[in-house]
Structure 1
Amino acid sequence: MKKYPLIALLCLTICTCQSQEKSPFLYTAFTGATLIDGHGGAPIVNGVLVIQNGRIVSIGTRDQVKIPEKAKIIDASGKTIVPGLINAHGHVGDVQGIEGGHYSAQNVRDNLAIYERYGITSVVSLGGDQPEAEPLRAVHADSHSNPPNARLYIAGEVITGQTPAEALTVVEKNHRMGVDFMKIRVDDNLGSSPKMLEAVYRAVIRRSHELGYKIATHMYYLDDARKLLEAGTDMLAHSVRDLPVDEAFVKLLQQKKVPYCPTLTRELSAFVYGDTASFFSDPYFLKEYDQKTIAPLLNPARQQQIRQSKAARIYKQQLPTAMANLKTLSDAGVPIVFGTDSGVPTRFIGYFEHLELEMMAEAGLSPMQILQSATKNAAEYMGLKNVGTLSPGNYADFLILDADPLADIRNLRKISSVYSLRLRSL
């Protein structure tokens, strides 16, 4: 068994890129790293992670794991390995830079490549998905000759309708296209538009369940969130932002075991461009987004318009409520799943995921709680198979980091390599 330094990862590829017949190695073993498997237990120091054909074979301490013959050994000493991150609420395929309206199969691939470069190895795209995305869904990845860079799960068209019949037409359209989830909006946009009626969303939830789909719900108000839980929604896709959550709501969420996705950066994006955003000078942002891309957001007239926007002021005022509600629900044991609502104009794919991680820390969650929300919780409560933890049989989706994220969640930025449907060294 020959050992290779970590730089050897530059030429390592998964079986979709290089057949086993062309390599003398049947396995790859990463040794010496600290392994955080996503289950919430103590990290494995001086760990061994063995993979074959894109799947995890074994994981444990050096004493526990026997490295197979014909294994390429990668020395990852001094590194930390964590599961690939899962964005349980993103959008894929429509944006280029800060412009929408660019939906195509190639742009789906390009968006997923950006997510992956920032360590997001699975994305649940909750709405706006078109037929071009269907062949790129994760369900097809194992048989795809040229899979995208990150695993993709889609919800199709966001379901709307003034009557049950109108809304159910969209449900059936999504079903025929091929989707992984259904998505509805129950929100009046701060009183500026009609809200989906309860009779309509109950019909949509019922039919989605009959067809075998989980349904995610965009919501804003506490009262709507309560009614949606009672109606059977499978995910609250945003924070409750109008009021502090009460004890009855907490108990209802506990009873239903429905995941709560805070998307704090969604509120941030509503007002942060009223001035020059501080992250515009962050090298971690600028590695993907250049000055030409952000130039329109530096326009003084545009910034003034945002500062004068009533909606922007309200969303800014409500952000502390959203953050406090996240802490309350997390403390109560409600399952928190990581999501950002990125992938629409000015919600920057990849970078906003790291802002979200940091905002969750500001809200009072521990690094382990945050990491689990973006790995095990997201996979378990969204029903994503074989991802989310470093477990035998799961896909080998993981990040190799230069620092410990349990010491500081910002260390998730310090990505040495991403191993997913194909390997990327950054």
Structure 2
Amino acid sequence: MRIMNYLGLLGLSLLPLLSSCAREFRSGSYLLVGATLIRPAEGLAAHSVIEVTGDRISAIYTEDQYPDDEPTVDVRGKFIMAGLTDSLSEMSTQCEADEAIRYGVTSVVATAGLDRGAINLSLNPSPVIYPMALIKSRGIGGTFTLDQLDEQVSSALQNSDGVKFVDLNKDMNASQMAYLLPRLREDNKIRINAELASAAYRDAVGVHNLLHTEWYFDPLAPDSIRDLPDLQTNASSLLNFYRAVDGESSTTQEHSKFLVKNFFLTPALGLYSFHDFATFAAFSKYYEERNTCGIPMTRVSESVYTNYANNQWAESLYALERANKRNGARYLAASANPRFGTLPGLSLLNDLYKMKEVLGLTNDEALATATVNFDRAYGLKSVGRVQPGYYANLLILNRNPQEDLRYLQTDITAVVLRGQLSSR
């Protein structure tokens, strides 16, 4: 058996050796031998051997029984887990792709428009990108007709092969939802997200995942707030709304139980990390020190920071999301890059930290939101698990992030991206 110990030969750094390893194994199979396999929500498997063929995992063996005719990489003493999936992010520049990979993100549901750049499918290297088309309910002339909605769907999907993601945008009404959902579900390759922000959530059963789940408490706010025409665009109205909803009331609990029964939820709590800083200047300093890609800070300024802080916006929002957690919510992780001073890769980790800190998820549950839950939500059978047939998107770590999530920042020594070993 030919053993290539790329993980410390003669005390040299792992990273350049893995790069040369990637070139050597580019066209064939190889084995990652001896690591402890981390399967969030499903347990550990010590002394595992993972066979990679092309861009896929082809087999998993134990260390005492595996093929002896393939090149091997000795990863004994290391931990291996599925790469992370960001369920909502921009992915438009090579720098963003590089930063995402550096923080262990190997798959992204990418969206464009508004203050996000265009989706760029020619990036290399890049996470696996699933483009998400935006289906709008309203235009400049008012609410779109059903024919206009159909045109949007046809346009969004006509040049898309394989799995297709769509995002049903705000203010869809009941008739629009009743038309769109059967139309979209005719194609079993379509995965449906929604940002409804209105009572239409009751008509949304059949949607896979709800984005920004705090919005779905709108119907519970007092009429004096809920009926404001600018509820979702005026910061003061939105802040008053969050403060007005009682996260402990029986009405809120009933509402929450409906949400968690029917949908996966993506609160994107990392959006609110700027609340953790005592001043806007402190947050700006943190952002600029980590903003490798020069991404303009959007939707957060000193006045917004002050307004949100004075109105205890984050605390009110967290109280609502805790109601979902108590009722058994199934979560997906998202960076929401570049909104509110979020960054590729790093802000996905911030979302995991927030779900632990604010909602009380265990480390293992938080890891599941960026791995196996994505597979459970959408059933793609290609990302989110270390399993034969899935993409060989893997993280190799010195320490187990089930013990401390911050090992995702400090202890990733290499990333396997669609079968290719590369440095972090």
Give TM-score scaled by structure 2 length.
Answer: 0.76
- Contact 1:128–1:158 at 8 Å: present in 2 too? no
Work out the number of aligned pairs and report it: 370
Label 1:312 to 1:30 Cα distance change in 2 as closer, same or farther (>3 A): farther
1:401 aligns with 2:385: no
From 196, 199, 206, give the equivalent of 2:175: 199
- Contact 2:107–2:128 at 8 Å: present in 1 too? yes
1:364 aligns with 2:338: no
Matches within 5 A, 1:9-24: 9-13=18-22, 18-20=26-28
- Contact 2:88–2:111 at 8 Å: present in 1 too? yes
CA RMSD of aligned residues (A): 3.4
From 355, 379, 382, give the equivalent of 1:383: 379
Give the Cα separation in 2 of the matches to 1:199 and 1:315: 33
1:172 aligns with 2:154: yes
Q: What is the Cα deviation at residue 120 of structure 1?
A: 0.5
Deviates more, 1:146-155 or 1:306-315: 306-315
1:352 aligns with 2:339: no
Q: Deviations over 1:39-81 (max 9, x none)?
A: x233112322222223223324323xx2223322222222211
**Could you tell me which residue of structure 2 aligns to residue 185 of structure 1?**
169
Give TM-score scaled by structure 1 length.
Answer: 0.75
Q: Point out where structure 2 has 5 or more consecutive residues left out of the alignment.
A: 8-13, 216-241
- Contact 1:264–1:322 at 8 Å: present in 2 too? no
**Could you tell me which residue of structure 2 aligns to residue 103 of structure 1?**
none
Matches within 5 A, 1:7-406: 7=14, 8-13=17-22, 18-20=26-28, 27-38=29-40, 40-63=41-64, 66-93=65-92, 107=93, 109-128=94-113, 133=119, 148-161=125-138, 162-163=143-144, 164-178=146-160, 180-186=164-170, 195-212=171-188, 213-220=190-197, 223-225=199-201, 227-230=202-205, 232-240=206-214, 242=242, 243=245, 244=247, 246-253=252-259, 255-256=261-262, 258-268=263-273, 275-277=280-282, 280-281=285-286, 286=289, 289-290=291-292, 293=294, 303-309=301-307, 313=311, 315-329=313-327, 332=328, 334-344=329-339, 346-362=341-357, 363-406=359-402
Label 1:166 to 1:312 Cα distance change in 2 as closer, same or farther (>3 A): farther
Q: Secondary structure at the match of 2:390?
A: coil
Label 1:131 to 1:327 Cα distance change in 2 as closer, same or farther (>3 A): closer
Give the Cα separation in 1 of the matches to 2:417 and 2:136: 31
Q: Deviations over 1:242-275 (max 9, x none)?
A: 443844335434553x211121122345896951
Give the Cα separation in 2 of the matches to 1:316 and 1:228: 28
Aligned identity (percent) is: 22
Q: Deviations over 1:351-400 (max 9, x none)?
A: 10111111111120011111111111112312333211111222211101
Give the Cα separation in 1 of the matches to 2:395 and 2:308: 41
Label 1:365 to 1:279 Cα distance change in 2 as closer, same or farther (>3 A): farther
- Contact 1:239–1:322 at 8 Å: present in 2 too? no
Q: Point out where structure 1 has 5 or more consecutive residues left out of the alignment.
A: 21-26, 94-106, 137-145, 187-194
Give the Cα separation in 1 of the matches to 2:408 and 2:276: 26
